[in-house]
Amino acid sequence: MRFCRQCDTNGVMDNKDTIIAEQQATIAKLTKTVETLLKRIQVLEDEVARLKKNSNNSSKPPSSDIVKPKTKVRRRTVKKRKRGGQPGHKKHMRKPFTTDEIDNFIEYELRKKDLVGLIALDDWHIVQQVTLPEKLYVVTEHRARKYLDPKTGKIIIASLPDEIQKGGLLGGDITAMTAFMKGGCHMSFSTVQQFFKEVMRLKVSRGMLNKATQKVSASLKPAYQQLADSLPNESYLGIDETGHKNNSEKYWTWCFQKPEYTLFHIDKSRGSKVLFDLLGQEYEGIIGCDFWGAYRKFARLSDAVVQYCMAHLIREIRFLAEHTNKKLKRWGCKLLDWIRKLFKTLHRSDELTETGFARRMKQIKRGFLIKMRRPPDHKLAKKLARRFKGKAAETYFRFLTDPNVEPTNNGTEREIRYTVIDRRITQGTRGDAGMRWCERIWTTIATCKKQERNVFEFIHKSLLSHWTDKNYPLFL
């Protein structure tokens, strides 16, 4: 059979419109599929990045890390040294008690039959040992005589000292010790009760222990209030907040700190209302904080200026530098390089002249901002870059021109760590009285530590002052 090329060509030409229409439909279908898959890939990449968030590349706490990254073990080329004191290092010994600090002296000598041929020296081998007394508490019965008024028939009782009348069963020192164990040692009332029973051999109810802490809470109020009243006048404050549970409801523990003191405040709100209530609308100081919206709103509506935490910024950039998107990862790594240069120069400030240091910092800042303001086409990059538009960039670099401003808010985060530990152990509070107790005892412990004051002594003095209504110890 003879094949006709002309006929075949004509047949194809006749069906070309149909073929083109089918191909266009296929292309449109494939294009739609590709767009759907690209969106799905982007969602999955974001989800993978979110799951990779940990305490190193975000503000999440270390306890939230599901799997800790394996640390690289460096091979030591030198011989591993032994534990304890090292050869050539000065030995540290505890200073012995002085004669005035020793309560009892016991001398040991050889028996007569072992003394043959020996001469007794006026020198002793000394071992000082600290022990507990057989009974750890003293019971004092305070008697107030009663008198009868024959004319009225009324009974008149002699007055007791205020500290005895208001103290009740537990004296000032034991009440202060109870508060110290509860607030300073993260002990529950049940644990404190067990200590009294097993160690002190004194049975005390949990209700009695709770009353003791509330007495201390009331005694610490003047010192706490003094710090709260001083906040609006401070030129610089580091501020942070963390969660708090009160009767299973979500509250927030706010921390305000500076080198001289630390103040904690528990509030239902995490918003700017707390800042306006404690600092006031006219606050003109500098606050070191993270990028939480409450601080941005407070800075916008008040006269305050901010120094956003560089440590938080580094964690956010590190998250981008570990992203699966190559352009985003490359951009994040470049930003981290500039920040490394910044802090390396900052730590070498003593080695540079004032002019040289300022010039070098200006160059690094300019290079960082140029890179930051040219983000890749990704929503995470553009969102971060928006923070550094125009003069807004100064909110991260204020520490370069003000030596009293810290580049990070790590000091406040360290202060707030104590409350997080206490929250996990005690599981929060059950009412307003408990929250006020936590605020005051946390503030007392943190501030006494900064001022190198004895926490127990401060609590004891505050308690006695509260019972006698005079000479309250203060922090400022």
Highest-confidence segment of 249-253, 324-328, 344-348 = 249-253
**What is the reported pLDDT for 173?**
95
1-15, 32-46, 82-96: which has the minimum mean pLDDT? 1-15
pLDDT in tens, 366-394: 999 999 999 999 999 999 999 999 889 99
> Is it the case that residue 6 has pLDDT exceeding 70?
no
pLDDT band at 4 (very low <50, low <70, confident <90, very high): low
**What is the reported pLDDT for 75?**
59
Ramachandran angles phi, psi of 279, nearest 5°: -105, -30
- Tell me if 64 sits within 8 A of 55, measured CB to CB: yes
> Is it the case that residue 139 has pLDDT exceeding 80?
yes
**What is the reported pLDDT for 128?**
95
pLDDT band at 60 (very low <50, low <70, confident <90, very high): low
Residue 461: Cβ-neighbour burial (10 angstroms; 0-12, 13-18, 19+): middle
> Is it the case that residue 33 has pLDDT exceeding 80?
yes
**What is the reported pLDDT for 365?**
94
Residue 5: Cβ-neighbour burial (10 angstroms; 0-12, 13-18, 19+): exposed
pLDDT in tens, 66-86: 445 555 555 556 677 788 888
Selected residue with higher pLDDT from 46 and 145: 145
Q: State mean pLDDT over 448-474.
A: 95
pLDDT in tens, 288-332: 999 999 999 999 999 999 999 999 999 999 999 999 899 999 999
> Is it the case that residue 470 has pLDDT exceeding 90?
no
> Is it the case that residue 44 has pLDDT exceeding 70?
yes
pTM of the full predicted structure?
0.82
For residues 282 and 442, what is the distance between their CA atoms, to the nearest angstrom?
A: 28
pLDDT band at 18 (very low <50, low <70, confident <90, very high): confident
The two tokens of residue 355 are 């002019």
Query: Residue ranges of the domains in the chain?
Result: 236-412
3-state helix/strand/coil string of the chain: CCCCHHHHHHHHHHCHHHHHHHHHHHHHHHHHHHHHHHHHHHHHHHHHHHHCCCCCCCCCCHHHCCCCCCCCCCCCCCCCCCCCCCCCCCCCCCCCCCHHHCCCCCCCCCCHHHCCCCCCCCCCCCCCCCCCCCCCCCCCCCCCCEEECCCCCCEEECCCCHHHHHHCCCCHHHHHHHHHHHHHCCCCHHHHHHHHHHCCCCCCCHHHHHHHHHHHHHHHHHHHHHHHHHHHHCCEEEEEEEEEEECCEEEEEEEEEECCEEEEEEECCCCHHHHHHHHCCCCCCEEEECCCHHHHHHHHHCCCEEEECHHHHHHHHHHHHCCCCHHHHHHHHHHHHHHHHHHHHHHCHHHCCHHHHHHHHHHHHHHHHHHHCCCCCCHHHHHHHHHHCHHHHHHHHHHHCCCCCCCCCHHHHHHHHHHHHHHHHHCCECCHHHHHHHHHHHHHHHHHHHCCCCHHHHHHHHHHHHHHCCCCCCCC
Residue 317: Cβ-neighbour burial (10 angstroms; 0-12, 13-18, 19+): buried
Q: Nearest to residue 307, comparing CAs of 284, 283, 285, 287?
A: 287
Q: CA torsion angle for 104, 110, 112, 116 (degrees, to 10)?
A: -150
Q: What is the share, in percent, of the chain residues with pLDDT greater than 90?
A: 73
Own/partner long-range contacts of 228-233 (Cβ < 8 Å, ≥24 apart): 228/263, 228/265, 228/278, 230/476, 231/256, 231/263, 231/278, 231/279, 232/278, 232/279, 232/280, 232/282, 232/283
